[in-house]
């Protein structure tokens, strides 16, 4: 288990650096003479048609609805593994990051609503600052090497995983519309089939893949966001076979490099290109970007710290051995790096009638995430020992 966690963390750090490069390239292109080519690339129509089934979307939506479903499949696999065998498998292990994650979702949303509750068009973005980007946050922490205690890395990993699960629930409850009952019926039948495969002890991934494809198309057509299909599929794939092997971990390990080094950087490239040329100071300090930036930079650490402190004081949770509040505080600030999931929620929040706020939302995410990353890194570097622990 320890080796698996170290492998996960090392890969996420490399992925975090690649994500940063993708953001920089997207911003440069969106604010250069090549901006029209960048937008034309994202608007490239792509169509799949089989009989009456017709899926016709621009490349941007294939990335956000299709490739991100694979990312959510990976999240589901990771959450299931941690719940059953890993850092969330016991009450003692799960309590502190669970309370921290809950606080880290509630307080950013409240701060955003402080600035946007009076506008029905913008208040739908309340969940944008509620997410933590696991790749970026772990990538920043990895820059400090083995100076960071393993327990602190696991705390951030568990917190981010619970946070991601919370975001999945938020998307299902608040960002689904125009539901098609026929598509939902087909999706329900596919889910029953997936559960039946699990109960029968089927460990071959092929049948799950075929039913999963049906589920994805049905959910896509239903009005519920298609990425949720990935999480459902993940929870249906067995973690352990009778011979001790793990179909779930096998799939997780095969998907992880694709997600880290292709899907997330491509998503960042497609969604981070904010055109600043037409923006004025009044736009930059308007309620949407300010609410998001402060939600990430202030709301996240405030929620994580307050809920963690309350849980420990009430003896509902314990601090990990060797970890103090001086360590938790800068990690709480790092949780304000909300890039990937925040961008994803922003694309959902403003896709119907709020397109004018899309660039402003992405600007707020970039500012809040960058500030959280810099402050969190500098703060954690100051409280950690200046030298790496000697190996025994």
**C-alpha distances in Å from residue 113, one per residue of 125, 154, 350:** 9, 31, 15
Q: Is 376 within 8 Å of 171 (Cβ atoms)?
A: no
Q: How many CA atoms lie within 13 A of 207 on its CB side?
A: 17
Q: What is the DSSP string of 44-100?
A: -EEEEEETTEEEEEEHHHIIIIIIHHHHHHHHHHHHHHHHHTSTTSSHHHHHHHHHH
Taking the C-alpha atoms of residue 267 and residue 59, their distance in angstroms, rounded to an integer, is: 11
Q: Token pair of 327, please?
A: 């360590």
3-state secondary structure of 276: coil
Alpha carbon 339 to chain centroid distance? Answer: 8
Provide the residue-wise pLDDT of the chain in tens; the chain has 392 residues: 555 555 555 555 566 678 778 888 998 998 999 999 999 999 999 988 887 777 888 898 898 888 888 988 988 888 788 778 876 777 777 889 999 999 999 999 999 999 998 888 889 899 999 888 776 777 777 777 778 887 788 788 788 878 878 887 888 788 776 667 888 899 999 999 999 999 999 999 999 999 999 999 998 888 777 778 888 999 999 999 888 889 999 999 999 888 888 888 898 898 888 787 777 777 778 999 999 999 999 999 999 999 999 999 998 988 888 888 999 999 999 999 888 788 888 888 887 666 678 888 888 998 999 899 899 989 998 988 775 544 43
3-state secondary structure of 388: coil
Q: Is 56 within 8 Å of 47 (Cβ atoms)?
A: yes
Q: Is 319 within 8 Å of 328 (Cβ atoms)?
A: yes
Q: Is 158 within 8 Å of 82 (Cβ atoms)?
A: yes
3-state secondary structure of 314: coil
């Amino acid at each position: 288990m320890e080796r698996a966690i170290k492998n996960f963390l090392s890969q996420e750090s490399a992925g975090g650096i690649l994500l940063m490069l993708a953001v920089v390239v997207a911003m440069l292109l969106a604010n250069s003479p090549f901006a029209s080519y960048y937008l034309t690339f994202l608007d490239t129509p792509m169509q799949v048609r089989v009989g009456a089934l017709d899926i016709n979307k621009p490349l941007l939506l294939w990335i956000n609805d299709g490739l991100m479903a694979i990312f959510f499949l990976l999240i589901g696999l990771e959450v299931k593994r941690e719940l059953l065998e890993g850092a969330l498998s016991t009450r003692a292990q799960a309590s502190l990051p669970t309370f921290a994650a809950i606080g880290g979702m509630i307080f950013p949303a409240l701060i955003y609503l402080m600035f946007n509750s009076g506008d029905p068009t913008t208040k739908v973005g309340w969940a944008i600052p509620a997410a933590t980007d696991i790749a970026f946050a772990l990538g920043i922490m990895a820059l400090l090497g083995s100076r960071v205690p393993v327990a602190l890395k696991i705390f951030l990993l568990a917190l981010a995983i619970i946070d991601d699960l919370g975001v999945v629930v938020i998307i299902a409850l608040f960002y689904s519309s125009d539901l098609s009952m026929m598509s939902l019926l087909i999706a329900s039948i596919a889910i029953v089939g997936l559960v039946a495969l699990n109960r029968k002890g089927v460990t071959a991934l092929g049948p799950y893949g075929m039913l999963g494809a049906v589920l994805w198309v049905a959910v896509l057509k239903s009005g519920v966001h298609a990425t949720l299909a990935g999480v459902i599929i993940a929870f249906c794939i067995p973690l352990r076979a009778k011979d001790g092997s793990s179909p779930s971990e096998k799939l997780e390990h095969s998907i992880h490099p694709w997600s880290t080094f292709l899907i997330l950087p491509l998503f960042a490239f497609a969604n981070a290109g904010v055109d600043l040329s037409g923006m004025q100071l009044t736009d930059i300090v308007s309620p949407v970007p300010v609410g998001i930036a402060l939600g990430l930079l202030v709301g996240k650490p405030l929620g994580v710290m307050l809920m963690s402190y309350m849980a420990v004081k009430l003896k509902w949770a314990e601090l990990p051995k060797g970890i103090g509040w001086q360590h938790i505080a800068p990690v709480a600030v790092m949780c304000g790096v909300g890039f990937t999931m925040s961008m994803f929620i922003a694309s959902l929040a403003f896709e119907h009638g709020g397109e004018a706020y899309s660039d402003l939302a992405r600007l707020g995410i970039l500012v809040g995430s960058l500030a959280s990353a810099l402050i969190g890194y500098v703060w954690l570097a100051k409280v950690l020992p200046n030298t790496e622990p000697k190996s025994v």
